[in-house]
Amino acid sequence: MNDGTFPEISMFILGIKLANRNFLHFEDVMTPPPADSAVRTFFPLEHPIPSYASKSVHSRLFSTAKMALHSADTSKLIFAPAGHQATGQAEQFTKGTLVRSQLNPTSPIPQFHAWFSRAQENDSGVDHPESCTLSTASLPSGRISSRTVYLKELDNRGFVIYTNLGTSRKAADIATNPRAAMLFFWESLQRQVHVEGRVEKVSREESQTYYDTRARGSRIGAWASRQSQVLEPQGDDDDGRKQLEGWVKEVEKRFEGQEKIPVPEFWGGLRIIPDRIEFWQGRESRLHDRFVYEREGEEEEWTLKRLSP
């Protein structure tokens, strides 16, 4: 009850008693005590609890429940991490819905562009809508690697990111298995987009056009870094950083006084040409809205289907 009368205190005391168990079910806390329980004589009915005390009881009761939702097995470093609700349970997804009539039936690109544009708006709560997780896998081992990258371009052909094409792990993976997956997660909008497809290099001209938009230090860095290679310490007081800084100085000297810097031959764009794109909108009780576009080849038509959450 929330009217400030004694049953709430009864529930709190019961919660304290039950909290001593190894496991506490939230339903137990909310079960009122028997009618003949001595607990019910703690406060006479005619003495309502002051509002500040009621709030304190409510806070302590639900704090007990929050802790009790977690496993008593101390070997688990993380178990069912809770959200910010008083119950200790994760938040529900309630910010939107997605229905088939909202989607373009012939291509997923307009829908992605619409969602991306929404994520870019000032009130979206999304700091970097262009950030995504790019996953690749090497063959024949099948070992998967993932990293966060920035989407830099989108057109009707696909999604473009830029990277070191010579020494990076993603480049090595793609050399053996030219496919990749991208995952965009816009938490504040409770939305995800999952992209899968074939990977191809963009032209040197396209890479130069993007490269020219980068800050000078970033252009120098693209030349200097042997991405993913081990940096060797230069002494007892160094962990390898000095080697990288030495390479940077060499490149700075090479292009000193030169504003127009050519894009390195080992650096450029990768285009993920999608054959599968899934749109995910969080819904209450984990009954999410999921729609997937698929096609067999780049010249084939897209199909659109709803998936079970």
Q: How many CB atoms lie within 10 A of CB 252?
A: 14
Runs of H (alpha helix) within 177-294: 204-211, 216-224, 241-254
Q: Is the dihedral of CA 39, 44, 47, 48 positive or negative?
A: positive
Cα(199)–Cα(162) distance, integer angstroms: 12
Cα(207)–Cα(214) distance, integer angstroms: 11
Question: Which one from 147, 216, 286, 306 is the annotated catalytic residue?
Answer: 286
Runs of H (alpha helix) within 133-265: 169-176, 204-211, 216-224, 241-254
168 touches 201 (CB < 8 A): no
- Tell me the chain's radius of gyration from C-alpha atoms: 28
Q: What are the distances in angstroms from CA 306 to CA 106, 278, 281, 290? A: 15, 9, 12, 6
> Active site includes 219?
no
Q: How many CB atoms lie within 10 A of CB 262?
A: 13
Phi, psi for 34 (deg, rounded to 5): -60, 155
Cα(68)–Cα(87) distance, integer angstroms: 10
Cα(301)–Cα(303) distance, integer angstroms: 7
Residues involved in catalysis: 286
